[in-house]
Amino acid sequence: MRQIIGYELRKLFRNRLVLFMLALFSVLNLYQIYGDYRKYAGSEKSWRDGYFAVYDEISGPWDNEKIRYVLAEYEKAKAAVSSGNYSTEPDQPGTHTGYVFGDWGLFEQIKDDMERMYHYGKTMAALTQKAADNAVFYEEKGNPALAKQNRLIAETYRNRSVAAFYDTLGISRYLKYDFSTLLILMLLIPLLSPLFAREHESGMHALLRLTPDFRKLPYAKLAACCTGIALVCLFFFTEDFLAFRYFYHIRGLSQPVWTLPDYFYTPLSCTVGGCLLLQAALKLLGFLVIGCVCTAFSAAAKHELIPFCCTFAVALVLVLTDAFAGSTVLSVLNPVTMLRNEALFRDFKTVSVFGRPVFSFRLPVLAALTEWLMLAGLTLAAGRLPARQRRTRHEI
Amino acid sequence: MKYECYKLFVKRKAWLLLLVFTALRLLTAFLQTNYASDYRMELYRDAYFRHMEVLEGRLTEEKAAYIEAENALIRELTGENSEDFIGCYIRGEITEDEFNERYRLRTTGYERKDAFAVINDRYRSVSQNPERVYFLYSNGWTGLFGNEHLDFVLLILVMLLTVPMICDEFSTGMYPLLRTAPNGGARLYAAKAGTAVLTAMLSAMLFFAAEAGFYAAVLGLPDGSFPLQSLPPFEQSPYPVSILGAAALTLLNRFIGVTFLTLALLCLSALTKRALSAVFLGTAGILLPYILFAKSSLKYLLPTPLGFLLSCGWLKGSFPVSPNAQEILTVTPAQYRTVLLVSAGLTAGLFLLGMLAFTGFSLPRIRRKGAAALCLLCLLLTGCGKAPASEPDLTGLVYDKWQYRPESEAFSVIRDEETGSFLSYPDSGGQVPLIHDCFTDTADLRRGSLPYIDGDTVYYVNQYSMFHMEIIALDTRDFSERCVYRAYWSDNLDRPEMLFGLGMYLPSKKPQEERTDAYFVHHGQLVLSKPQGIFRIDLRTGDECCIHAGKTENLAATCGYLYYLDELLDLYRCDLKTNVSEKLPVGKIRHFYAAADGLYCRSLKEDAYYFVPPDGSQKKPVPDFDGDAFLKGELT
């Protein structure tokens, strides 16, 4: 069985077109990441250098000296800007970014980030206390569902604090980056469309049915499909991470995820690195679902163009539905939600399941898992069907 | 080539595909007309066309004078002096009918102002370049060829028609036979290429003609002889052509684009010998630049079919990336000529390369042609059943926004600006916070809204942003909450968020007017006052009806009726059981207060208070009425 899986994998990837597109897409991906970096980390080199130099200096565990330094630099820049007596020429002496106005913007941003992180523990302690009080209140009022929800809030946000300060721009941009998702989607559809269909098209299906291992073949193909998807995802996710790490000087992977600005109220209790892995895993799940849509079409079709067109159409419909559905049942069932999962973990949202509060992000994950298994089953069922005999038309 | 055409149209039934895809294209055009280029022209269509009867065409002195006169009239109707007619009515200088007329004029003055705003915006452009910019109803033309949407329907059709022409010869095993035929090889490839190109051009022309017919019928395509710069997206165009000429150039560009695309697909088909590979490469070659260079002029400047398929950008000169965007793209005639030449060369090269590949020495692989039939994914939404409606009990209904104090027998709502809102229980003397949300800074009611008590339920407005509100029903028995009404509104065009930032290519939604100014709830009936009128929603069944269309003021209810002032300051009462409104014969009213047995109305003319019974049959003067004291509950 392992041999068959290996052979199917080789069949998938020993395709000059696929390898060429993989190389091209990886170059395009790097180009897009670099464009993202130029857009969000400042278009001027002096600004970017100053930005990273300042963060190198002040990052790390809380230190009163660093806080005083930031406040002093902020006040100095603010005073210079307020007075109006400053030059807008580049490479100003005594500045970090090369511009007085740039320094003011930079230190204002750092000050706001520092305040948010520094007071986080206190904010969460107050929130936890309020949730505990609410739990008691709702118990008295005979509302066990809301009481349980508030107990869950108290439990989730208990003992949270931020022990160190660091630059979160790189991680935030990485979490929002989704161009590689498009590239993976565009690569997977032609990669997987011929998986079953080519056997029918080439007439090999009838021969394979005579082999002793034919029954294992659909399983092997499916396993190869999932492995292929995982390999492609691993390739692009690794490239993304390395590129972002290089350009944005990513730090703080071992810091708690709630240190990120968009994740202030996240219910997750993992590190930033753990969150990145979770995001990658959910994207992989989304791709597995769409990949199995493709293989299901491929197993039912006799021409490899059909699953390509159908999967492309389905993917387009799913992406459009995701844009317009909002927070409805459609968004729970849509596998594209897994591909755009950055927003899933930002806020505390629950749904009541048999009177118990369940985090709402679990629903689309469960739905995606179920869809994957169902589509895999469909693929296996279609893949084991006998080849239909059709009269071949020869046209002159 | 005749036989290739026969094969394509008769054997492969390409004519059926053409018809189906043309219908599909019309459908997409229909969906896009809801998001017309300038929605204001559609919003005030009648007024706009009335003005166009005078203004259409080149700017003249008479037209400029007309515009100035209309602006002066609008200023007069909506300016400070518009209030004088109220004083005239009070002094008895004008009759009630004249008052109504002047009041209506003031209201319509604002509507005239909104309707004329689009003319004023165009006037600014027209007056700067009167030789080239004319007044014109442009939505039809802009919809036809003014936007940069990629025609995916045409793209898919061209791929489905073109790719199998070469690839099927390999898959059916005909290729080796054809190679040995006298007219096989290069001549056959040229015939196929000619057929494919002609078919693609025919498709493009058919689509364009169908769209033109559609826009002509739905929106109208007037005055094609006007200069191209009369269309707003083409204001900066450097080309001295008419609109019809620009439409013809757009079609020509599309011909070039589909020719380029067709020959590229044929070349890919001949090189890869697989339909899937050719289609994938063709799709990637169009889609990736479309996404990557969405905000860059490279999508036009790269020698790919994309720029020609988008086509309109070549004629625009300088234009924003998308409506309301800051980034400006510039495409010059010189760049167009360069790209055209390079693309022509590339197209010729692809043709030759494809021919060489088709006549080359690659080994044919025998494939069996297959058939395809697949199902589509359907998504269903299910609705909820509705509870049968019962007659609402309106006894004891006394609600007035001005004097309402949210209280019931069991509790009342106390609002404090600093500490928040509380439920106060007079029996026990205790107070409980109304809202228990852990995640907001000030867990308090938004927009200064009054909470309403209906039995054990407190209704309050929770607004999350300036453009979004919800009415929440809080059950005070267990403090569970549910949203009973939700509204969104926006002042600007709104684009949906989409994966890969592709939302910028989707049409924008028109601004929504769902703002709610006042509301109250009684016995499961939610009554909302919006700019469009008064609406009533039965919270049990979800049934909605309009009680009064048009602007209203001073919404209140008492004695089983809903009372309100319309925009002419006439007092109406509506029977909430039948939703029938009637005007009460009490004259013009400034405002009124609802009491348990009637209304205290302040007359516009006399500027004095009268007590009016529920049916408005008589007016009893109440000279010492003090509105403030009444609101505080100090009057008996």
> Residue B460 has what pLDDT?
81
DSSP tag of B608: -
In a domain, A393, yes or no: no
Domain shared by A128 and A264, yes or no: no
pLDDT in tens, A282-335: 999 999 999 999 999 999 888 888 888 889 889 888 888 887 766 678 888 999
Q: Quick one: pLDDT at residue B160? A: 86
A142 touches chain B (CB under 8 A): yes
Per-residue model confidence as pLDDT tens digits over A203-245: 777 777 778 777 888 899 999 999 999 999 999 999 999 999 9
Q: Are A170 and A109 in a shared domain?
A: no
Least confident piece of the model among A161-175, A349-363, B357-371:
B357-371
C-alpha distances in Å from residue A286, one per residue of A21, A292, A307, A367, B603: 21, 10, 18, 10, 67
The pLDDT value given to residue A217: 86
- Which residues neighbour B27 within 8 Å (Cβ) at sequence distance 6 or greater? none
Indicate left, alpha or beta for A184 from its phi (over 0: left) and psi (-120 to 50: alpha): alpha
pLDDT one-digit tens code per residue, B101-122: 877 777 777 777 887 888 888 8
Whole-number Å distance between alpha carbons of B538 and B166: 64
Structural domain ending residue among the three candidates B309, B336, B358: B358
The domain tally of chain A equals 3
- A282 contact B CB<8A: no
User: Is the domain of B279 the same as that of B407?
Assistant: no
Please tell me whether residues B353 and B413 are part of one structural domain: no
Distance, CA of A326 to CA of B51 (rounded, Å):
40
Same domain, B354 and B460: no
Confidence category of residue A396, pLDDT binned at 50, 70, 90: very low
Token representation of residue A102: 């740039």
B364, pLDDT greater than 60: no
Residue in B6, B174, B368, B437 to test binding to A, most A beta-carbons within 10 Å = B368
Residue B497 lies in a domain: yes
Say how many Å lie between the first and final Cα of chain B, rounded: 99
DSSP-derived secondary structure letter, B135? B
pLDDT at B538: 83
CB-hemisphere CA count at 13 Å for A360? 19
**What is the number of other CB atoms lying within 10 angstroms of the CB of residue B217?**
10
Domain boundary among B358, B387, B413: B358
Shared domain check, A323 and A252 = yes
Report residue B334: phi and psi, to 5°.
-65, -40
Q: A210 and chain B: CB distance < 8 Å anywhere?
A: no
Q: Are residues B470 and B555 in the same domain?
A: yes
Query: Are B445 and B590 part of one and the same domain?
Result: yes
- Residue of A31, A137, A302 lying closest to B370 (CB–CB): A302
**Res B563 pLDDT > 50:** yes
- Is residue B397 scored above 70 in pLDDT? no
The reply to whether A303 and A358 lie within a common domain is yes
Closest alpha carbon within chain A to B164: A305
Do B433 and B578 belong together in one domain?
Answer: yes
pLDDT of A394 reads 47
Selection from A54, A53, A33, A51 nearest residue A42 by Cα: A51
> Cβ-count burial of B491 within 10 angstroms (0-12 exposed, 13-18 middle, 19+ buried)?
exposed
Range(s) of the domain holding residue B586: 398-632
**Which tens digits make up the pLDDT trace of B215-260?**
888 888 887 888 888 888 888 888 888 999 999 988 998 999 999 9
| Interface residue A236 vs chain B (CB under 8 A) | no
Q: Do A76 and A172 lie in a common domain?
A: no
Question: Minimal CA–CA distance to A285: which of A326, A344, A325, A353?
Answer: A344
- A241 contacts A275 by C-beta, under 8 angstroms: no
Kindly state whether residues A242 and A354 are assigned to the same domain: yes
Q: Is residue A102 part of a domain?
A: yes
Structure tokens at B57: 């065409």
Q: What is the mean pLDDT of residues B200-220?
A: 89
Contact B284 A310 (CB under 8 A): no
The confidence score (pLDDT) of residue B495 equals 56
Counting the structural domains of chain B, the total is 2
User: Which one of B279, B368, B498 has the shortest CB-CB distance to A203?
Assistant: B368
CATH number for position B481? 2.120.10
The answer to whether position A50 is within a domain reads: no
Give the residue from B170, B197, B370 showing the smallest Cα distance to B272. Answer: B170
- B386 assigned to some structural domain: no
Q: What is the pLDDT of residue B373?
A: 32
A132, A103: one domain: no
The structure tokens listed for A250 are: 């990513």
Please check whether residue B111 lies inside any domain of the structure.
no
User: A333 — contact with chain B (CB < 8 Å)?
Assistant: yes
pLDDT score, position B571: 92
A114, A252: one domain: no
* B423 vs A contacts (CB less than 8 Å): none
Residues B508, A324: Cα–Cα separation, whole Å: 12
For the cut 50, the answer to whether the pLDDT of residue B301 exceeds it is yes
User: Which residue of B272, B288, B436 is in closest CB contact with A134?
Assistant: B436
The rounded percent of chain A whose pLDDT value lies above 90 is 43
Reduce the DSSP state of residue B357 to 3 states and report it: helix
pLDDT at B90 over 60: yes
A176: domain range?
A: 2-42+166-383
Domain contains A379: yes
What local confidence, expressed as pLDDT, does residue A174 receive? 93
The C-alpha atoms of residue A93 and residue B53 are separated, in whole angstroms, by: 64
Which region among B123-137, B360-374, B600-614 has the lowest average model confidence (pLDDT)? B360-374
Q: Are residues A303 and A364 in the same domain?
A: yes
What are phi and psi for residue B614, nearest 5 degrees?
A: -55, -30
Give me the residues paired with residue B621 across strands. B610
Query: Does pLDDT of B377 surpass 50?
Result: no
pLDDT at position A268 is 92
pLDDT digits (tens, 9 = 90+) for B436-462: 888 865 545 544 456 788 888 888 877
Tell me the C-alpha distance between A98 and A50, whole Å: 8
Query: Residue B58: inside a domain, yes or no?
Result: no
Question: What pLDDT, on the 0 to 100 scale, is given for residue B385?
Answer: 34
Residue A388 resides in a domain: no
Q: H helices within chain A, ranges in order?
A: 2-13, 16-40, 45-58, 64-83, 100-118, 120-140, 144-156, 169-176, 179-192, 194-202, 204-208, 217-248, 272-300, 305-325, 329-333, 336-339, 362-383
pLDDT single digits (tens) A74-95: 998 888 888 877 777 777 777 8
Q: B584 and B505, same structural domain? A: yes
Average pLDDT (A178-183) is 91
Residue of chain B whose Cα is closest to the Cα of A307: B374
Tens of pLDDT along B29-78? 777 665 556 667 777 778 888 888 888 888 889 999 999 998 888 887 77
Q: Which of A256-260, A323-327, B140-144, B275-279 has the highest mean pLDDT?
A: A256-260
Same domain, A342 and A211: yes
Residue A388: its chain B contacts at CB < 8 A?
A: 371
Query: What ipTM does this complex have?
Result: 0.75
Q: Are residues B353 and B406 in the same domain?
A: no
How far is the alpha carbon of A54 from chain B, nearest alpha carbon, in Å? 31
Any residues with CB less than 8 A from the CB of B333 and at least 6 apart, and which?
B238, B239
Min CA distance, B381 vs chain A (Å)?
8
Strand-strand pairing, B598-603 and B580-595:
antiparallel
Same-domain check for residues A372 and A300:
yes
Across the interface, of A322, A329, A388, the residue whose CB is closest to B499 is A322
Is residue B521 one of the residues assigned to a domain?
yes
Look at residue A292 in the predicted model and tell me its pLDDT.
Answer: 95
**How far does chain A reach from its first CA to its final CA, in angstroms?**
43
The reply to whether B449 falls in a domain is yes
User: Rounded to an integer, what distance in angstroms lies between the CA atom of residue A323 and that of residue B500?
Assistant: 11
> Tens digit of pLDDT for each residue in B570-614?
899 988 777 788 999 888 888 888 887 888 899 888 888 899 988
Asked if residue A222 is part of any domain, the answer here is yes
B279 and B422 part of one domain: no
| Highest mean pLDDT (candidates A148-157, A381-390, B34-43, B584-593) | A148-157
Residue type, A304: E
Domain end among A156, A181, A204: A156
Closest CB from B275, B478, B500 relative to A142: B478
Rounded to an integer, what distance in angstroms lies between the CA atom of residue A107 and that of residue B218? 56
Distance from CA of A68 to the nearest CA of B (A): 27
Does A264 contact B at CB distance below 8 Å? Answer: no
Q: Are residues A251 and A264 in the same domain?
A: yes
Q: How many cross-chain Cβ pairs, A to B, lie less than 8 Å apart? A: 152
pLDDT digits (tens, 9 = 90+) for A6-44: 888 888 888 888 898 999 999 999 999 998 888 887 777
Q: Is residue B261 part of a domain?
A: yes
How far apart CA B34 and CA B42 sit, in angstroms, is: 9
Together in a domain, B181 and B281:
yes
CA distance B469 to B493: 19
Residue A103, SS3?
A: helix
Cβ count near B334 (within 10 Å) = 8
> Is pLDDT of B367 > 50?
no
In-domain check, residue A392:
no
| Percentage of the residues of chain B whose pLDDT score is greater than 90 | 5
* Confidence (pLDDT) at A280: 95
CA atoms within 13 A on the CB side of B226: 24
Give yes or no for A173 touching B (CB within 8 A).
Answer: no
B509 pLDDT tier (thresholds 50, 70, 90): low
Q: What is the pLDDT of residue B551?
A: 78
Question: What tokens appear for B511 in the block?
Answer: 């601004």
